Amino acid sequence: MTQTPARTADLSEAFAACERLAKSHYENFTVVSWFFPKRLRPSMYAVYAFCRHTDDLGDEAAGDRMALLDAWETDLRRCYTGTPEHPFLQALQGTIQQHQMPRDLFLRLIEANRMDQRIKRYPTYQDVLRYCEHSATPVGRMVLHVFGYRDEERGRLSDATCIALQLANFWQDVRRDLAMDRIYIPQEDMARFGYSEAELRKGVANDAFRALMAFEVERARGLFREGLKLVDKVEGELRLDLRLFSDGGLSTLDAIKRRRYDVLSARLTVSKIKKVNLMLTGFAHLAAIKLFGGGRRG
């Protein structure tokens, strides 16, 4: 079926709505967004708005979240078959067409939020990875598409970084997730280290818990190392974005380690000083990119 794009005025308003959303959640739309090429920012705002709204439906919406996610998916599918109703999706439709973005990336993110409604425990690490393949890896591949990369090699390396970022977020947010009755630590790992859910609920950060979290942190660190291979396989500003994302995630893991893996006493965050240092490093790298050039597509 031929797609019917939104009117020009409506489309401009739709992109403006996406930009407002991104900027209103500035603390989460990280400093690396400052380095997106200006020509790509509307597309990135549209992608961000889709991801943010999807997560809000799954985490914060009142009422029947499954029904809301189903309706959101129905409207998303109109991006490929007609004209979507929601302004964020009207902007996303143009982004999809411009960058040849497959429907599966967006469907997987919606499904991740359905999984959040149904699944509260993960028996194995492979189960956690399957969740990350819905909640995290689609976002990285969306960004690659916007920057013009569609090959599987880069996609696989992006997946490693995105999974690592998701895991770093899980491990700093163990206490917060538990308050929502979600435990992302694999049950097989808890059993291996002799740590129980009952102890977790009591906030017991004993030697077994610290050893468990050290294991999870180092496994995430290995994924970051694998994903960093992507830096030399992309051009210009995206190299900087990838480096900053990875450095931010690694800083989270380092902060957990400095706390001797006690993530139950308080939520860990990257300090403002560290964020400023990352930003300044980013400006330095950007200057080098503009002076000496970046990698090549291929």
Residue 297 scores a pLDDT above 90: no
Say what the pTM is: 0.87
pLDDT, average across residues 60-77: 97
240-265 confidence digits (pLDDT tens)? 888 888 998 999 999 999 999 999 99
Instruction: Report pLDDT for 236.
Output: 81
Residue 160 scores a pLDDT above 90: yes
Instruction: Report pLDDT for 23.
Output: 81
Instruction: Say which residue, 46 or 274, is predicted with more confidence.
Output: 46
Quote the CATH superfamily of domain 7-118: Farnesyl Diphosphate Synthase (1.10.600.10)
Q: Which of 165, 172, 168 is nearest to 263 (CA)?
A: 172
Domain residues of the chain, as ranges?
Answer: 7-118, 119-288
216-238 confidence digits (pLDDT tens)? 999 999 999 999 999 999 988 88
102-159 confidence digits (pLDDT tens)? 999 999 999 999 999 999 999 999 999 999 999 999 999 999 999 999 999 999 999 9
119-288: which CATH topology? Farnesyl Diphosphate Synthase (1.10.600)
Distance CA 298, CA 295 (A): 9
Of the CA atoms within 13 Å of residue 45, those in its CB half-sphere come to 26
Distance CA 111, CA 72 (A): 11
Instruction: Report pLDDT for 37.
Output: 86
Distance CA 229, CA 222 (A): 12
Other CB atoms within 10 Å distance of the CB of residue 9: 8
